[in-house]
Amino acid sequence: MKGKRRLDLILLMVTLALVGIGVIMVYSTSAIIAGDRFGDPYYFLKRQVLYAAIGFFLMILMMFFPYEMLKRFAYPILILSILLLIAVLIPGIGHRAGGAMRWLKIQSFSFQPSEFAKLGLVVFLAYFLAKKEEKIRSFSFGFLPTVLLSGFVIFLVMKEPDFGAAFFLVAMVFLLLFLSGARVIYIVGAFLIAIPAAYILLMNVAYRYKRLMSFIRPWEDPNGTSFQIIQSFLSFGSGGFFGLGLGEGRQKLFFLPAPHTDFIFSVIGEELGLVGAMIIVLLFFILTLRGIQIGLSLGDRFSAYLALGITLMISLQAVINMGVVLGLLPTKGLTLPFVSYGGTSLVANLIGVGILLHLSTHVERR
C-alpha cells in the first residue's frame, strides 16, 4: 500500500548536530578575536545564534511550503537573484569589505546575495532542466540555454570578485547537467573551453595567481602568501587522534587567519583531533546520502532535481572547504556549511534543508 513517508528525521538530526557543533566551534575559534576587536568575546557567538534562530525559523516554514510553488516562481527567483547580484556591484549600494563588493548593507544588517543566488540557481535549474527533459541532449535547445543563463549569474559573482564562489557554481551547474542527462561530450567540451579562460583570469589578477602558487609550492613563501595554508597544516596536524581539547587550540591565537570562517575545520582538527574531524565528515556524508536517497525516490523530475541540487549545493561546498584546509585544493574563500561563522550562508543552507525535508514527505513508500 502506498503512502507518504514521514519527515526524514535522520536528515533533521544531522543538520541540528552540524549547526550545534558550529555554534560551539564558532565561540571556541572567535572568542579571543572578538574580545580583541570588539571588546566582547561573545560577539560572533551571539550573532551566530541569532542567524541560526532565523535560519531554523525559515527552515520550518519551508518544511510546510508546497514545493510546487517554487516551480511556479522559478523565473522570479532567478531574476531576484540577478538583481541582488547587480545591486552589489553598484557603488553606494554594494558594501565593500576585504577588497571585494560582496555585501548589501541595510543599517547594521548585511548579507551576501551570492549565497542566496546559489539556492536561487538550484531552484531555477531544477525547473529549467525538468522542463527541457526532452531537449536536454540537444546542444542548441537544452545544453546551451542552460549554460548561458547560469553563466550570466556566475559572471556577476566573478565581478564582485568572488572567484571561489564562481568556481563552485560552475562545478555545481556541470554536475546538475550531467545528472539531468546532458551529453558528456558537451560538458567535457565546455570544461575544456573554460580552462584557458580560467588560466587568463588567474594570471591577470595578482592575488589569484599568488593563491595558486601558494597551493602548488606552499613552503616557498611560508611567511607571505602561504602563511594561511601553512598555519592550517600546523593547526590540523597538531591535534593528533583526540585533539588538544575544546578551546585549547593555539593556532587560532592570531596565527591562523579566518579561524572562525574559512578555516574552522582546521581548528576542529586541532581541538577535537582526527576523531572530531571524522565526525564532521561522517555527518556530511550522511546528509549527502539522505539527500540523494530523497532525490532518487521522488516521482517527478523537478522535485528530484531540486533535492539533488540542494544536496549538491551543501555537500560540494563542504568537500571544497575541507579540501582547501587540508591543502588538496587552492584557497577558495568558501565556508564550511552550517559550521563556519556566516549568517547568509547558514540561513540559505537551512532554507535548503527545509525544502529537502518537505520533499522527503513526498517520497512514496510501500
Average pLDDT of 127-138?
88
| Residue span of the structural domain in which 336 resides | 3-365
More confident residue, 93 or 279: 279
Residue in 55, 67, 54 with CA at minimum distance from that of residue 294: 67
Stretch 318-337: mean pLDDT:
91
Mean pLDDT, rounded, for 306-311: 97
| pLDDT band, very low/low/confident/very high, at 4 (cuts 50, 70, 90) | low
- pLDDT for the residue 139: 86
Q: Output 100 or 159, whichever has higher pLDDT.
A: 159
Contacts of residue 100, defined as CB under 8 A and 6 or more positions apart, other chains included, come to: 160, 161, 162
* Angle CA 311–140–148, to nearest 5: 50
Phi, psi of 229 (to 5 degrees): -70, -35
Higher-confidence residue of 331 and 149: namely 149
> Taking 80 as the threshold, does the pLDDT of residue 5 lie above it?
no
CB atoms within 10 A of CB 37: 11
pLDDT, mean of residues 68-88: 94
Share of the chain above pLDDT 70, in %: 95
What is the rounded average pLDDT for all residues in the chain?
A: 90
Cα separations (Å) of 281 from 210, 321, 337?
29, 11, 12
**Phi and psi torsions of 192, nearest 5°:** -65, -35
95 φ, ψ (degrees, to nearest 5): -105, 125
Q: Is 34 helix (H, G, I), strand (E, B) or coil?
A: helix
Question: 95 - beta bridge partners?
Answer: 103
Residue showing cell 584557458: 196
Return the C-alpha cell found at 216. Answer: 602548488
| C-alpha span between 224 and 247 (Å, rounded) | 27
3-class secondary-structure state, position 340: coil
Asked if residue 151 has pLDDT above 60, the reply is yes
Task: Report whether 121 contacts 75 (CB < 8 A).
Answer: no
* pTM confidence score: 0.92
Q: How far apart are CA 68 and CA 64, in angstroms?
A: 12
Rounded-to-integer distance, Cα 202 and Cα 242, Å: 39
Which residues contact residue 15 at a Cβ distance below 8 angstroms, ignoring those fewer than 6 apart? Answer: 59, 287, 338, 350, 353
Share of the chain above pLDDT 90, in %: 63
How far apart are alpha carbons 192 and 188 in whole angstroms? Answer: 6
**Residue 193: what pLDDT?**
86
- The CA-based angle 299-128-354, given to 5 degrees, is 60
pLDDT surpassing 70 at residue 365: no
Dist CA 243 CA 238 (whole Å): 8
Residues 305/176, Cβ–Cβ less than 8 Å = yes
Say which residue the cell 582547501 belongs to.
324
Residue 102 pLDDT greater than 70, yes or no: yes
pLDDT tier at 333 (50, 70, 90 boundaries)?
A: confident
Q: How close are the terminal C-alpha atoms of the chain, in Å?
A: 5
Distances in Å between the Cα of 308 and the Cα atoms of 98, 157, 178, 179, 279 are 33, 23, 12, 9, 23
If pLDDT is split at 50, 70 and 90, which confidence band does 64 have?
very high
Q: How confident is the model at residue 41 (pLDDT cuts 50, 70, 90)?
A: very high
pLDDT at 205 over 70: no
Q: How many domains does the chain have?
A: 1
Beta bridge partners of 340: none
pLDDT at 99: 64
Residue 305: is its pLDDT beyond 50?
yes
**Out of 20-24, 230-234, 290-294, which region has the weakest mean confidence (pLDDT)?**
230-234
Q: SS3 for 220-261, per residue?
A: HCCCCCCHHHHHHHHHHHCCCCCCCCCCCCCCCCCCCCCCCC
Residue of 116, 106, 119, 113 lying closest to 88 (CA atoms): 113
Average pLDDT over residues 47-65: 97
